[in-house]
Amino acid sequence: MVDQDVKALRNQLDKLQEALEIANENGLLKNDPTTYQTILNYIIDALVKLNQNPPDIIEARKKFSLGYFEFNHAINSSNAWWRFKYSIGGPIATYLIMVIISIFLAWSLFSPTLLESKILWVPSWAFLWGSAGGVLQGFWWLWQHVSERSLRKHWLIWYFLLPLIGAILGALTYLIFLAGFISATGEVQLKSDSLPMLLSALAGFSSRWAVQLLDKLTSIIKIGS
């Protein structure tokens, strides 16, 4: 039981130190090195208490709580723009909301055209739903990073590119699905667009899954050649 408590507290201290380093990287304490050192000292003191034999868990928890209090105080005392930008990811969330609204407006107003038109032999809707999946992935990642206080300023460009990346992955996944469909049935015309739409959105949402799918296809092509 003691070992589990020590492990859990070490994990909390690691997360606090990581959040402190990221917040400092984002400019939270650039004009207040004293607060940074104070919080870091609490973390170090807590780790020292845990390394004792036997570990002093009560005192370590006290040091952790004091460090956590100082860290929260520093965040709450920062200017409103910093909190909007890094504590809740406001600019990224606003951008993603605007993109997803634009996507659904485009689908609502121009779905007949999108169902018929193609870009480089790929239906326009594959790009659209892939982009929507990319936006949803952005919301998911943003929620995780904000919850863990691990949102870094140099990730902003990645979030802004997610709709574009999702659109590209959605189109590529459609082409893979179409190639598989033709190989399996010998037909070149899909009877329903529902499944490939879902796959395009899934590719945008899970870029890792889409990349793994492309890797498998590349391996198959190498074996076949």
What pLDDT does residue 91 have? 95
Per the DSSP assignment, residues forming a β-bridge with 123 are 118
What pLDDT does residue 105 have? 94
What pLDDT does residue 225 have? 43
What pLDDT does residue 20 have? 95
**Other Cβ atoms closer than 10 A to 87:** 18
**181 Cα distance to chain centroid:** 32
What pLDDT does residue 217 have? 59
Per the DSSP assignment, residues forming a β-bridge with 112 are none
User: Cβ(88)–Cβ(147) under 8 Å?
Assistant: no
**133 Cα distance to chain centroid:** 12
Which runs of E-coded beta strand occur in the chain?
118-119, 122-123
Average pLDDT of every residue of the chain: 87
Regions in the chain scoring below 50 on pLDDT: 222-225
Rounded to two decimals, what is the model's pTM? 0.84
19-22-28 Cα angle (round to 5): 100
Domain locations along the chain: 2-78, 87-224
Distance CA 43, CA 24 (A): 15
What pLDDT does residue 196 have? 81
149-153-158 Cα angle (round to 5): 105
DSSP state of 155: G
